[in-house]
Structure 1
Amino acid sequence: MTTRGILVCLVLSAVGFVETAWSQTLTVEETLLVEWKSVYGQVETRNRVPARTRIGGTVTELDVSEGDQVEAGQRIAMVVDDKLDFQLGSLDARLTALNAQLETAEADLARGEQLIERGVITAQRFDQLQTAVDVIQGEIRSLGSERLVIEQQIAEGAVLSPEAGVVLSVPISRGSVVKPGEVAAVVAGGGVFLRLSVPERHASDLLEGAEIEIGTVQTETSTRKTGRLAKLYPQIEGGRLQADVEVAGLDPRFVGRRMPVRLPVGERSAILVPERALDRVGGLDFLTIEAEDGDKRRRTVVPGGTVIRDGETWREILTGLDVGDRVVLENE
């Protein structure tokens, strides 16, 4: 083959390559887009339970601080009431005296049994001796019950965690004087979720079980993280609807941390084309349109926002493109 023939083949090959590069077209159709509302969610725990004191007294021991992990039933603090020890000592002294009286009464009753057999004392006197023993035994049992009550009150000086979780706050300190029912610590447990405060105008657009996007607008390189709208609270306060979102792998270390969330609040029709179909020249955006006769013409369009579909970036076209138009795409 001559040099001229080789050049002709190269030119024809180049023309064929150009035709192949512009041979792919996309017929424009309307697409339903989900309307998203950007709000902030706050990391909350499912349960937030106060650990309360059960008796009044002085805090002698404080075993936890903010951020500590606790188990259900674990001791948080110890409250001591000195009066209970004094009452316990008083009861012990009375029990000692009654036990001594019981020994004397039982000895008198034993002698009375011998004397009544010999007819020395009357049955009435013997009954009095038996009654004296019964009365003292009853007083001993009563004081024993009172002692158990005081021992239980002393044991209830231990402030216990109501459930497993993390300690959010400890409003008392060692040496504090507390009353029964005061909060010694607030324990958060039961897992974490995102609490949302949504404007009431979007209340009717939200459904339990809907998928929620965590983060801002998705890009090509961002990882799409989602959650599930688990609960909508029926009471609207201050024009805001409260909602809970379950998110897998949510960091529970910082309760109250705010995170951006995107809520689906509706749908609308839009025209989308791949980002690679747009060509920007001199500040204007152009698309190549293939006419019915096969001719290709460049048309000025006004693009809108981006949408990620199947890992590819698409652009919404606001004006300059109609449904049914065939957009020429460059092959990659």
Structure 2
Amino acid sequence: MFKPLLLSIFLATPALSQTAPVLEVTTTMIADRKAVFATVESVDTLTARTRIGGTIAELMVDEGDSVAAGEVLALVVNDQMAPQIASASSQADALEAELVQAREDLARAEDLFERGIVAQTRLDQAQTAVAVLEGRLAAANQARDVLVQQEREGAVLAPAAGRVLDVRSPQGSVMLPGEPVAIIASDRYLLRLNLPERHARTIAEGDEIEVAGAALGADVAPTGVIVQVYPRIENGRVIADAEVDGLGSFFVGERVRVHVTVERRETIILPRAYISTRFGNDFVTVETEEGRHDIVVLLGAETPQGVEILTGLSVGDRVVRP
């Protein structure tokens, strides 16, 4: 004889804890960040130029070399300078010999004048001859010094410390005064950003940027600061410069991705612990006067404070942890 088997099924809903933390919904100001590409640029790009005309007899640098301010980069030689200097030197030597003779004549004239043999006129003539030759010798020496200085200016000097980006004139080139020999990037580097013009009024000096440091290496700082926003918009782009530590050893023109703040807005941020996901939908438990119930919310981007709530909640709602 079988005894009937009675099954009792109890459907129960777990009670919500009355001590569950309640969070009142408020708005938070967040920054919208945009990923853009920036290029490594030198703060100043300088040109080393020739100061005299001539031929590059010696070239001391190549692309990529680091140079110090005032370092000799090339030597320009003008074949006409040596004969001119020799001619000026010969003229100065001849005048110096004439001056020696004139001083001896003046000494004799002074002696004869003291003994009353010659008149005052003879003495005055000898003194005038010495003064004239002294002036001519000084002028000749100055002319020779000018030529010697011009020959020294054949050395092409680095205008500042930095790295040689381009050598414009190889050895043996015939140069005119002022022609470029090398392009030098100063040893201070920055990141140059190109942003759409709609962000021109939302970025400013002092804004922080995030650098994709993995692309450049561990020596580069993860963040930087915008130090200049150029007032001119070209081809629908606004240009800004940002300083980032550790850029000194990279190639000029190298590209890197950065994130820059382009707008700030108010939104609702909710900690992840207050959100549950079921059947592909995200739910939040809201406490009202009638009790607690779940509502569907649409999530936005993740932030350090939590998750952005796009729709489903309003300011003042009381949210409890599920």
TM-score range, shorter chain: 0.7 to 0.9
Matching of residue 307 in structure 1 with residue 283 in structure 2: no
- 1:289 is matched with which residue: 274, 282, 285? 285
Residue 251 to residue 136, structure 1, CA distance change in 2 (3 Å): closer
Measured against aligned partners, the alpha-carbon deviations of 1:249-283 in whole angstroms (never above 9, x if no partner) come to 3344212222223332322232333345555555x
Q: Is the 8 Å Cα contact of residues 213 and 224 (structure 1) preserved in structure 2?
A: no
Judging changes above 3 Å, is the alpha-carbon distance between structure 1 residues 147 and 224 closer, same or farther for their aligned structure 2 residues? closer
Work out the CA distance in 2 between the residues paired with 1:249 and 1:327. Answer: 46
When residues 101 and 291 of structure 1 are mapped into structure 2, their CA distance, relative to the original with a 3 A threshold, is closer
Q: Is the 8 A contact 1:192 1:252 kept in 2?
A: no
Identity %: 42
Secondary structure of 2:80's counterpart equals: helix
Rounded Cα–Cα distance in structure 2 between residues aligned with 1:25 and 1:108:
117
CA displacement at 1:44 relative to structure 2: 1.9
TM-score (norm. length: structure 1): 0.78
For 2:172, what is the secondary structure of its paired residue?
A: coil
For 1:100, the aligned partner's letter is: A
In the alignment, what sits opposite 1:238?
Answer: 235
Residue ranges of structure 2 left out of the alignment (5+ in a row): 1-12, 214-219
Aligned equivalent of 2:168: 171
Q: Render the CA deviation track for 1:129-162: whole Å, top value 9, x for unaligned.
A: 3322222222111110011111111111111122
C-alpha contact (below 8 Å) 1:58/1:80 kept by paired residues: yes
> Distance between the aligned counterparts of 1:31 and 1:236, measured in 2?
32
Q: Is the Cα–Cα contact under 8 Å of residues 221 and 246 in structure 2 kept in the other structure?
A: no
Count of residues paired in the alignment: 303
Q: Is the 8 A contact 2:284 2:297 kept in 1?
A: no
Output the CA distance in 2 between the equivalents of 1:267 and 1:224: 24
Describe the SS at the equivalent of 2:138.
helix
Deviation at 1:119, TM superposition (A): 4.2
Structure 2 residue corresponding to 1:126, chosen from 103, 123, 126: 123
Normalised by the length of structure 2, the TM-score is 0.80
Contact 1:193 1:244 in 2 (8 A): yes
The change in CA–CA distance for 1:111 and 1:291 in structure 2 (over 3 A counts) is closer
The answer to whether the Cα contact below 8 Å between 2:274 and 2:320 also exists between their aligned partners in 1 is yes
Distance in 2 (CA, whole Å) between partners of 1:127 and 1:251 is 72
- Distance of 1:39 and 1:308 partners within structure 2: 21
Provide the rounded CA distance (Å) in 1 between the counterparts of 2:267 and 2:190.
Answer: 33
Contact persistence 1:287–1:327 (CA under 8 A): no
Q: Which has the higher helix share?
A: 1
1:137-156 matched pairs, under 5 angstroms? 137-156=134-153
